[in-house]
Structure 1
Amino acid sequence: MERISGYGYAQLVQDYGWLLRKYRFMSGHTIGRSVLGRPIVAIRCGSGPRLVHMNASFHANEWMTSALLMRFLDEWGAACLTGAPEARLYREVTLWAVPMVNPDGVELSLYGVSKDNPYRSKLLEWNGGNEAFDQWKANIRGVDLNDQFPAHWEEELRRRGTKGPSPRDYPGPYPLSEPEARALAAMALRFPFDTVLALHTQGKEIYWNYRDYEPPYAERLADRLGRASGYKPVKLSGSDAGFKDWFIQCFRKPGFTIEAGEGVNPLPYADFPAIYGEVRPLLLEALRLHDPAPAL
């Protein structure tokens, strides 16, 4: 699973098929489709009673996170085959991973707008006439998918102050207006996840709270993730309508946003090995998190 310039949707589809052929105990699922009709795929691994969800690439130019999550799935699958210590987690946890929430946006960020894209003229207008889309975070309709969830969405709309489609920070015309966000919400409503993690870049931080809706042990869990990775747990304020915000508010269970790596988005792919070295133990620790967490 190698990519030199970036990690796009075609690479994801190739690696997705490769994982399912290599690890017959993994299963693949389509949880929805993007605006342009691309399947949003999920990978299920594990047979345990504790349900964990991980996702990546809510934001288009944070495609590095998809590569991180796919590498983790590959390594955990290999551990299960060889009987490495992590293999025991297979019987304790069922992991549902969505490695690319925003496939249309990722393709746009990496490769620009094609001449046959039905949104071409609008995209160029929203991007200020610039044909380089490497700073694009939104989906193909200019909506920030991580501002789409019904968790004080109206306050986030006022705070952002973005009036219409944009490369970033437009929460959309109403909550869950975009099919990508609806697919994630439907998945969380269907499966009783005990914990969710959303991978983003950058900052080496872990956001674990939301308006005091989080369970009382959430900070202890964040501390464990921080010790595993060296990332800093941060009690965040002044942010609403994100996926982990909605999950915490809706289910009163622990949710985490992981800001992987450090620098300016999009992070260079050359940074992948170092970032994966930080994220891998964090993701493993996330599979070990119990509800409630044991006292330290």
Structure 2
Amino acid sequence: MTFPYVVRRGDTWERIAQRHGLQVQALIRANTELQKGGGLQPGCSVRIPNAPDCRYIVQAGDTLAALAGRFQIGLSDLMEANPDVNPRYLRIGQTVRLPVCKAGPIVDTTVPFGYQEMMRSLELLGYRYPFLEIGSIGQSVMGKDIPYVRIGCGMRHLHYNGSFHANEWVTSLLLMKFTEDYANACVQAQSFCGSDAGRLLEETSLWIVPMVNPDGVELVLHGADPDHPHAGQLLEWNGGSDDFSGWKANVRGVDLNDQFPAYWETERDRRDVPGPGPRDYTGPSPLSEPEASAMERFTRERDFRLVMAFHTQGREIYWNYRDYEPAESERIAQRFQQISGYAAVKLTGSDAGYKDWFIQTYGRPGFTIEAGYGVNPLPLSQFPIIYDELLPLLTEGLMV
């Protein structure tokens, strides 16, 4: 079995082979048509022969015990995979094999999932599954990278996102857990929710932005301590309360899902919120916030067949927008309803959302999925149920 890898600027056969723990000639033999067709070009697809173990380049201060803990691999399993490595002396630049088959899960679904948890998980996923492409679509108000993950390099491009709203951070956990399970199914050559994971990987390019609003998520989970650069203003906007669990907006008090140029003025007048606060302020103008602007730019730079924005709560699927949606959208929504148990709802009286803008701009299927049921932020105890409900829907989206 082989896995697709998208060539990046600066890649060479040697660099790709080293990253995936392969001999250069083995990599070239698996891609003879590229040799005849002009070689490596950024954006082209290279087939990676099955190598279930990935490689790590030793850094200053590393020990095998530390690496075992970092990558959640048993120390004895790590030593067994590296019989030629002296556990008492690692050299900087030395290559260590990380046996994926012996590794435990990366994404921890039992603890609140903030920005640091996400970035740590992405780092580990990148090492364990080197066919993942991980990058940034831009920065938040406070300069945090807004990461994306691309899995697969097929011609059918799709996009999922989460945590437009700060207190809906469980959607980031949902998408990260899905990414790990999908990648693992590909490596293990397993069926994934009844589908051939390897075939999906080859036929689709799924672009996931797990946390659109990192500043807001951190505010909900950790509050505005005295060292926070916006602490005084945030406390004022929050009515003097240091409880930010009801906060949906970004750190400038703007609702990022009311920021898109799809009847934005209508949404501004409907909301009638005069200034920054925990929710519903549309901002001074469309795309005034760097997070919304980054999402708009990210979307325009790609040719998405379908998008899904994950929110909480209500167990509903919104699939339309002012009759701009294609005829197939309702059929797809009905299919999503059938496999998830969520109600497909034809929504009215809502504008300026990401899904709205995508449908209006491209005339393609776009969906808002309201996960779970209750009061935001949903309790973490709901996560197993939410994941079980939405895993078939997330997988079905790859086949639309």
| Superposition deviation, residue 6 in structure 1 | 1.4
- Secondary structure (helix, strand or coil) at the match of 1:210 reads coil
Please tell me whether Structure 1 or Structure 2 has the larger radius of gyration of its CA atoms: 2
Does residue 130 of structure 1 match 2:218? no
- The 5-angstrom pairing of residues 172-251 of structure 1 reads 172-251=283-362
- Secondary structure (helix, strand or coil) at the match of 1:32 reads strand
Q: Which residue of 1 is the match for residue 124 of structure 2?
A: 18
Q: Which residue of 2 is the match for residue 61 of structure 1?
A: 167
C-alpha offsets along residues 95-119 of structure 1, whole Å, 9 cap, x if unaligned? 0000000000000011100212221
Unmatched 5+ stretches in structure 2 = 1-106, 191-195
Does residue 259 of structure 1 match 2:365? no
Percentage identity across aligned positions? 55
Does residue 30 of structure 1 match 2:141? no
Q: Which residue of 1 is the match for residue 217 of structure 2?
A: 106
Q: Which residue of 1 is the match for residue 95 of structure 2?
A: none
Give the aligned residue type for 2:237.
W
Contact 2:255-2:283 within 8 A present in 1 as well: yes
CA distance in 1 between counterparts of 2:212 and 2:176 reads: 13
- The 5-angstrom pairing of residues 85-104 of structure 1 reads 85-104=196-215
Contact 2:168-2:377 within 8 A present in 1 as well: yes
- Secondary structure (helix, strand or coil) at the match of 2:176 reads helix
Q: Which residue of 2 is the match for residue 294 of structure 1?
A: none
82-91 or 71-80: bigger deviation = 82-91
CA distance in 1 between counterparts of 2:329 and 2:273 reads: 32
CA distance in 2 between counterparts of 1:217 and 1:250 reads: 16
- Secondary structure (helix, strand or coil) at the match of 2:394 reads helix
Q: Which residue of 2 is the match for residue 144 of structure 1?
A: 255
Q: TM-score, normalised by structure 1?
A: 0.96
83-92 or 58-67: bigger deviation = 83-92
Give the aligned residue type for 1:83.
A
CA distance in 1 between counterparts of 2:175 and 2:198 reads: 17
Provide runs of 4+ in structure 1 moved above 4 Å: none
Q: TM-score, normalised by structure 2?
A: 0.71
Cα RMSD, aligned residues only: 0.8
Does residue 73 of structure 1 match 2:184? no
Contact 1:59-1:144 within 8 A present in 2 as well: yes
CA distance in 2 between counterparts of 1:225 and 1:50 reads: 19
CA distance in 1 between counterparts of 2:301 and 2:164 reads: 20
CA distance in 2 between counterparts of 1:5 and 1:286 reads: 27
The higher relative CO (CA closer than 8 Å, separation ≥ 6) is in: 1
CA distance in 2 between counterparts of 1:175 and 1:36 reads: 19
- Secondary structure (helix, strand or coil) at the match of 1:96 reads strand
Contact 2:109-2:383 within 8 A present in 1 as well: no
Give the aligned residue type for 2:269.
R
Q: Which residue of 1 is the match for residue 265 of structure 2?
A: 154
CA distance in 1 between counterparts of 2:375 and 2:187 reads: 37
| Superposition deviation, residue 50 in structure 1 | 0.5
CA distance in 2 between counterparts of 1:61 and 1:16 reads: 21
C-alpha offsets along residues 20-58 of structure 1, whole Å, 9 cap, x if unaligned? 111111011111000000000000110111000000000
Unmatched 5+ stretches in structure 1 = 290-296
CA distance in 2 between counterparts of 1:43 and 1:5 reads: 22
CA distance in 2 between counterparts of 1:273 and 1:132 reads: 26
| Superposition deviation, residue 3 in structure 1 | 5.1
Q: Which residue of 2 is the match for residue 293 of structure 1?
A: none
CA distance in 2 between counterparts of 1:201 and 1:39 reads: 23
